[in-house]
Amino acid sequence: QASEISVLHCFSFRGGAEFLFDGVKKHQVTLPSQPEPWDIRNLLQWIKQNLLKERPELFLQGESVRPGILVLINDSDWELMGELDYQLQDQDNVLFISTLHGG
């Protein structure tokens, strides 16, 4: 099989972050093939263009997630995985948890 095969990923949003995505907490996504591997930096832009429904400033800041949003890749803190440079693998689970709670 060619390496061009798209891979399936699961993205989850919790802690209030799901409200920016029409209240949907879990998304099963097949990312389109592209010449270079998908990394979190590319993924965040794809999420912004394809999944994010409102108020992107509450989820993204610059090319990364806003401070206060935890990112777990397969249940590990993304800071241990290379953050934006982490290259997605087939079947990765990426979980975004907002720790910001407005009053």
Residue-wise pLDDT for 38-91, tens only, equals 999 999 999 999 999 999 999 999 999 999 999 999 999 999 999 999 999 888
Counting Cα atoms < 13 Å in the Cβ hemisphere of 90 gives 6
How many structural domains compose the chain? 1
- Give residue 46's pLDDT: 94
> What string of DSSP letters covers 6-19?
--EEEEEEETTGGG
Residue 11 included in any domain:
yes
- Give residue 3's pLDDT: 44
Distance from C-alpha of 18 to C-alpha of 54, rounded to nearest angstrom: 11
Per-residue confidence band for 101, with pLDDT thresholds at 50, 70 and 90: low
Residue 2 included in any domain:
no
Residue 103 included in any domain:
no
Residue 40 included in any domain:
yes
Residue 47 belongs to domain spanning: 7-98
Residue 26 confidence (pLDDT) above 80: yes
Residue 90 included in any domain:
yes
Which domain CATH number covers 46? 3.10.20.30
Residue 68 included in any domain:
yes
